[in-house]
A and B are shown apart, each in its own frame.
Chain A
Amino acid sequence: MSTHKESSSHSRWREFLRGCLDEAPILLGTMPFGLIYGVLALNAGLPAGLAQAMSAIVFAGSAQFIAAQLIGQATAGVVVVVTIFVVNLRHALYSASLAPYLKHLSLGWKALLAYLLTDEAYAVAIVRYQRDAEAGHAPPFQHWYTLGAATTLWSSWQVATAVGVFLGGSVPASWGLDFTLALTFIALVFTAVRTRPMWVAAITAGGVAVVAHGLPYNFGLLLAAAGGILAGMIAEAQTGVAQRRPFPNP
């Protein structure tokens, strides 16, 4: 009995470590990002404690970037909340995608892994789950692997933020570091856009955002997001209709 217990705690630990190792290469990309966030947040006028707290409370790179910017511009609190919510809505997709693999876990485990669920942790975890599913087996401690990957990202994110916050005070505003926000999002939009309707969504949202920029409390951002989503869905519906025609290309 005790041998069984020992070997199962051993394999838990092994799964955890494998998750940590598989997440490690991704830190090359996320740690500089966390560092820039820390610098940017301080430049935007956030107190160091608040900038650091956001990394633990919100724990989502792009949402933290934009929230820091909005807080610096003295946006209404409700717009900051709604913006964080909208920017992070994509996590619902990850949640839906991982849900079947986490079905058997306790609510505590589900809550823990959900708190730690980010783009980068999802990317590593889903590859493992799908590989196991294709091989036709489900090792009992897969969730320890996910926990290892996710906590590796979490801890490195907190450390990177702390370094950025520490350096932030010595970076002058004239460096224009706030521009890294736009550059980061330009990089991300090219990975997010994969189909023509997605381009329609992106360009519509960008256009509406510029036109509606004068609206108070940065409300134009939300209007633009809604407009872009709607335009993308309309474009998709139209392509769908076109594809259903018997002879689309005579």
Chain B
Amino acid sequence: MEWLPVLIIGGLLTFATRLSFIALLGRFEAPEVVTRALRYVPPAVLSAIIFPEVLLRDGVFVTPWVNPRLYAGIVAGLIAWRTRNVLLTIGVGMAVFWALGWAGM
């Protein structure tokens, strides 16, 4: 449970973020540059997590043509792009990943 304090601080910061404008409206106006920067947080953070997860294994670059995560990731990307369906993307991505693993990749 040594991680509990870490989660509590993370949770409090999340709460503060969610409360920020709701509590401060009328007393404080966010600088335009801040709201502009906030719009780029989701794409930047998401792909900063995706790329290493797909391309690296234990911190080492995996040879692309024997990397099942790369192929499954590309297929998942196509599904996500066409359908915007989170569950379908996860389902098809895992199916491709398992199939390639089963085929010996």
Task: List residues of chain A with CB within 8 A of the CB of B9.
Answer: 81
Which residues of chain A (74-92) have a CB below 8 Å from chain B? 77, 80-81, 84-92
Cβ of A192 under 8 Å from chain B: yes
A131 within 8 A of B: no
A142 → B minimal CB distance (Å): 14
| A182-B49, A205-B48 as given contacts; A29 in contact with B39, CB under 8 Å | no
Residues of A within 8 A of B (CB): 28-29, 32-33, 36, 46-47, 49-50, 53-54, 57-60, 62-63, 66-67, 71, 77, 80-81, 84-96, 98-100, 102-103, 107, 110-111, 113-115, 117, 175-176, 179-193, 197-199, 201-210, 213-214, 220-221, 224-229, 232-233, 236
A56 closest partner in B (C-beta): B11
B8 part of interface (Cβ distance < 8 Å): yes
A181 touches B53 (CB 8 A): yes
**Closest CB pairs A-B (n = 3):** A228-B44, A84-B10, A206-B51
Chain B residues with a Cβ closer than 8 Å to the other chain, count: 67
List the count of A-B residue pairs having beta carbons below 8 Å apart: 255
B98 to chain A, nearest CB (A): 8
Report the separation of the CA atoms of residues A96 and B24 in the bound assembly, to the nearest whole angstrom: 9
Residues of B within 8 A of A (CB): 1, 3-11, 13-15, 17-26, 30, 35-56, 59, 61, 69, 72-73, 76-77, 79-81, 84-87, 89-90, 93-94, 97-98, 101
Residue of A29, A66, A89 with most chain B CB atoms under a 10 A cut-off? A89
Closest chain A residue, CB of each to CB of B54: A182
Distance A57 CA – B50 CA, assembled complex (angstroms):
25
Name the one of A28, A32, A201 contacting B44, with C-beta atoms under 8 angstroms: A201
Contacts of A36 in B (CB 8 A): 90
Complex contact A182–B38 (CB within 8 A): no
How far apart sit A133 and B35, CA to CA, in the bound complex (Å)?
Answer: 23
